[in-house]
């Protein structure tokens, strides 16, 4: 299915990113742009933890700008992958399997509109997990849940923006003294456990939403 709005939206984001890059050139030359690119690349395996690099001396970017770079990287990856998934059928048997699962999920979302809202929230929370689930996995999961490519990319974008803002807020509030706290592995485990609990609650709500129409249909047949 063609989604021209997806390409137009990504094009607008690319123009905004280009304007930001030119602003960096004016501020610190091409070396600053290269450092921004390195941060964007590092944010893929390390996620939003890159914002804490602002605690180091001589860091070229502040906390909020590091969050912006991380979010921009995720958004571009999500939209780029969403465009590529439009050609999934060309990937042979795996592509046809992927397309078939997407079509099946779309039919389910059409039949159960309440699940659509829960799924969107689930993707946003899924992206917030700190262990590098990232835009790659999030975009693919969104498609397998029946989202259009644009809606999936938007869900990932919302999730990464919210997560970046939360991490930046924590980094700004803690200051450099929080570096010792960041090294505590229990912090990441605690955050993951909390977000996992939210995802589990959403899964239970989705099961109830799916069962209610089915139960009503069985009751109608038995009358």
- Could you tell me the residue ranges of all domains in the chain? 4-210
Residue with tokens 């799924």, as numbered in its chain: 119
- For 3, the 3-state DSSP assignment is coil
**What are 20-75's pLDDT values in tens digits?**
999 999 999 999 999 999 999 988 888 888 888 887 778 899 999 999 999 999 99
Instruction: Please say whether the beta carbons of 171 and 54 come within 8 A.
Output: yes
> What number of other Cβ atoms are within 10 A of residue 70's Cβ?
27
DSSP state of 151: H
Distances (CA, A) of 188 to 39, 45, 107: 21, 15, 37
Closest CA to 198 of 98, 150, 145, 126: 126
Tokens describing residue 171: 């980094």
Distances (CA, A) of 182 to 27, 188, 192: 31, 8, 14
Residue with tokens 């999030």, as numbered in its chain: 138
Per-residue confidence of the chain (223 residues) as pLDDT tens digits?
Answer: 567 899 999 999 999 999 999 999 999 999 999 999 999 998 888 888 888 888 777 889 999 999 999 999 999 999 998 888 877 666 667 767 777 777 777 676 666 666 666 777 777 777 776 555 578 888 888 887 778 889 889 988 988 898 889 888 888 887 766 566 566 666 667 766 776 776 677 667 666 665 654 444 444 445 5
Residue with tokens 């990464």, as numbered in its chain: 160
Query: Distance (Å, rounded) from C-alpha 112 to C-alpha 99?
Result: 20
């Amino acid at each position: 299915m063609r989604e021209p709005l997806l390409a137009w939206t990504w094009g607008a984001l690319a123009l905004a990113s280009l304007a930001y890059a030119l602003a960096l050139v004016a501020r610190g030359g091409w070396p600053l742009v290269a450092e921004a690119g390195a941060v964007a690349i590092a944010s893929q395996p390390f996620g939003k933890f890159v914002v804490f690099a602002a605690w180091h001396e001589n860091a070229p970017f502040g906390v909020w700008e590091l969050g912006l770079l991380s979010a921009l990287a995720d958004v571009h990856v999500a939209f780029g992958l969403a465009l590529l998934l439009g050609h999934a059928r060309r990937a042979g048997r795996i592509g046809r399997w992927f397309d078939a699962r997407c079509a099946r999920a779309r039919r389910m979302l059409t039949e159960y509109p309440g699940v659509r809202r829960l799924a969107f929230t689930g993707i946003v929370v899924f992206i917030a997990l700190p262990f590098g689930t990232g835009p790659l996995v999030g975009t693919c999961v969104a498609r397998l849940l029946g989202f259009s490519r644009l809606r999936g990319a938007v869900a990932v974008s919302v999730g990464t923006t919210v997560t970046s803002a939360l991490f930046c807020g924590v980094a700004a509030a803690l200051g450099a003294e929080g570096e010792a706290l960041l090294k505590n592995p229990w912090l990441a485990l605690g955050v993951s456990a909390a977000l996992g609990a939210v995802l589990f609650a959403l899964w239970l709500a989705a099961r109830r939403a799916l069962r209610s129409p089915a139960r009503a249909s069985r009751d109608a047949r038995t009358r």
